[in-house]
Amino acid sequence: MTDNPDDDHARTPGKGRTPTPRTIEPSAPEAFGLTQVWWGDGKGKTTAAMGMGFRAAGHGYRVHMVQLMKGGAASVEDVRGEYNAIDAFPGFTYENLGHYGWHAMRDGSADDDHATQAQAGFERATELVAAATDVDGPLSPDGPPDDGVHMLIVDEIIYAANRELIDPPDVVALVADKPDDLELVLTGGHERPSYLEPVVDLMSQVKNEKHPIDAGQRARKGTEY
């Protein structure tokens, strides 16, 4: 055992170095290929998924996010901060197939429209999973997601399945059809997606213990959108 703290730091994985940013170059992940599920009644499911997306893109990996039902309420603007950030970041893209309002709420939106949009989002996710089959090596950060991605985030797919806008067995099939090297991240829903437990690698519950909405706080620009 040494008395020199610098020697101790040198034996850690980071070698005691202070992390510094590096130029982002197209690269391919060495250990991707898991399926993650983020569900629960707490705030942070989409935030966690996008955080991983930015982290992966920061290593030069190609990331795409499909949002099935990210509509919102009158308190949420149509341009969200995350869209601006993703647009400015290399290697990370998104598409939103939802619309304003929420399913089964008296907000002026039609439930049939929500079902149609959710199904379209699921079909788009299925296309992108199939497109990722032939991915081998780095991908252009400017290339279309139809050319393949390393990480695919399907936001609010669990919410849609819980509300039977898409069939839960279809979500299981999506996971089963995933190519070995694709990192698939599924989010949404307040009800536990027990049907996914046998087929996914990571399942995290985001639990609500206290939320400002319960005290009447509306969605805030920069935190919720």
Which one of 42-46, 178-182, 205-209 scores highest in mean pLDDT?
178-182
HSE-CB of 204 using CA atoms within 13 angstroms: 15
What's the chain's average pLDDT?
87
pLDDT category of residue 102 using cuts at 50, 70 and 90: low
CA-to-CA separations, 138 to 106, 151, 164, 196, in angstroms, rounded: 46, 12, 37, 30
pLDDT category of residue 224 using cuts at 50, 70 and 90: confident
pLDDT category of residue 215 using cuts at 50, 70 and 90: confident
**Both tokens assigned to 199:** 């087929």
* Residue 108 scores a pLDDT above 60: no
pLDDT category of residue 3 using cuts at 50, 70 and 90: low
Q: Give the E-state strand segments of 21-107 in sequence order.
A: 35-39, 63-67, 92-96
pLDDT at 212: 77
CB 126 within 8 A of CB 27: no
pLDDT at 33: 97
Q: How many CB atoms lie within 10 A of CB 198?
A: 8
* Residue 107 scores a pLDDT above 60: no
Ramachandran region, residue 60 (left: φ > 0; alpha: ψ -120 to 50; beta: rest): left
* Residue 2 scores a pLDDT above 60: no
The residue-averaged pLDDT of 171-177 equals: 98
Question: pTM for the full model?
Answer: 0.87
pLDDT at 17: 78
Lowest mean pLDDT among 54-63, 115-124, 175-184, 193-202: 115-124
* Residue 114 scores a pLDDT above 60: yes
CATH code assigned to 27-215: 3.40.50.300
CA dihedral (70, 157, 95, 71) in degrees, to 10, reads -10
